[in-house]
Amino acid sequence: MENLNEVLQLFLSVDNFIAIALGVVIGVTVGSIPGLTATMAVALALPFTFSMQPVAAILLLVGIYKGGMYGGSITAILIRTPGSPASACTLLDGYPMAQQGHAKKALKTALFSSVIADFISNIALIFFAAYLAKIALNFGAPEFFWLICFSLTIIISLASGSMVKGLLAALMGILLSLVGLDSVFGSQRLTFGNYNLMDSISFIPLLIGLFAIPEIIEFYRKKVVPHIKAKASGAGMTLAELKRSLKSIVRGSLIGVIIGAIPGTGATAAAFISYSDARRRSPNKANFGKGEVEGVAAAEAGNNGVAGATLIPLLSLGIPGDVITAIILGAFMVHGLTPGPIMFQENLSLIYALFLGIMFSSLILLVVGNAAIKYFSLIADIPKSILFPIVLMFCVYGAYAVNNATFDIWLMLAFGVVGYLFNRTGIPAAPFLIGFILGPMFEDNLRRSLLISNGDLSVFVRGPITWFFIAITFGSIAFAVFRFFRDRHAKANPLGNESPS
The site for another protein (CB under 8 A) is made up of 47-48, 50-52, 162, 164-165, 167-168, 171-172, 174-175, 178, 182, 184-185, 187-192, 216-218, 220-224, 385-386, 388-390, 392-394, 396-397, 400-401, 404, 406, 409-410, 413, 423-427, 439, 442-443, 446-447, 450-451, 454-455, 488, 491
**What single letter denotes the amino acid at residue 484?**
F
**Torsion angles phi and psi, residue 181, rounded to 5:** -80, 135
Minimum CB distance to another protein smaller for 343 or for 459: 459
* Closest distance to another protein from the beta carbon of 222 (Å): 5
* Closest distance to another protein from the beta carbon of 124 (Å): 33
Minimum CB distance to another protein smaller for 306 or for 438: 438
Helices 103-136 & 348-380 angle (0-180, nearest 10): 160
* Closest distance to another protein from the beta carbon of 225 (Å): 9
Minimum CB distance to another protein smaller for 100 or for 406: 406
Burial of 284 (0-12, 13-18, 19+ CB in 10 A): middle
- Do 10 and 350 contact (CB within 8 A), yes or no? yes
Minimum CB distance to another protein smaller for 359 or for 401: 401
Residue 472: other Cβ atoms inside 10 A: 17
The Cα 121–Cα 72 span in angstroms is 19
Minimum CB distance to another protein smaller for 328 or for 418: 418
The Cα 411–Cα 205 span in angstroms is 6
* Closest distance to another protein from the beta carbon of 438 (Å): 12
Characterize 115-152 residue by residue with b for buried, 16 or more Cβ atoms within 10 angstroms of its Cβ, and e for exposed. bbbbbbbbbbbbebbbebbeebeebbbbbbbbbbbbbb
Residue 338: other Cβ atoms inside 10 A: 12
- Give the DSSP H or E segment for 189: strand 188-189
* Closest distance to another protein from the beta carbon of 263 (Å): 20
The Cα 34–Cα 218 span in angstroms is 14
* Closest distance to another protein from the beta carbon of 198 (Å): 13
Q: ∠ CA(21), CA(27), CA(33), 5° rounding?
A: 135
Beta partners for residue 181, in sequence order: 188
* Closest distance to another protein from the beta carbon of 317 (Å): 21
Characterize 178-206 residue by residue with b for buried, 16 or more Cβ atoms within 10 angstroms of its Cβ, and e for exposed. bbbeeeeeeeeeebeeeeebeebbbbbbb
- For the stretch 269-272, contacts whose Cβ atoms lie closer than 8 Å and that sit 24 or more positions apart, written own/partner, are 269/158, 270/86, 270/302, 270/303, 270/305, 270/306, 271/86, 271/87, 271/88, 271/89, 271/90, 271/299, 271/300, 271/302, 271/303, 272/89, 272/299, 272/302
Q: How far is CA 371 from CA 29, 107, 298, 375, in A?
A: 10, 11, 22, 6
Minimum CB distance to another protein smaller for 245 or for 466: 466
* Closest distance to another protein from the beta carbon of 298 (Å): 23
Minimum CB distance to another protein smaller for 406 or for 497: 406
Minimum CB distance to another protein smaller for 114 or for 445: 445
Q: How many residues does the chain have?
A: 501
Minimum CB distance to another protein smaller for 246 or for 446: 446
* Closest distance to another protein from the beta carbon of 53 (Å): 13
* Closest distance to another protein from the beta carbon of 423 (Å): 7
- Do 137 and 345 contact (CB within 8 A), yes or no? yes
Minimum CB distance to another protein smaller for 258 or for 401: 401
Minimum CB distance to another protein smaller for 33 or for 257: 33
* Closest distance to another protein from the beta carbon of 312 (Å): 28
Residue 19: other Cβ atoms inside 10 A: 26
Minimum CB distance to another protein smaller for 85 or for 236: 85
* Closest distance to another protein from the beta carbon of 244 (Å): 33
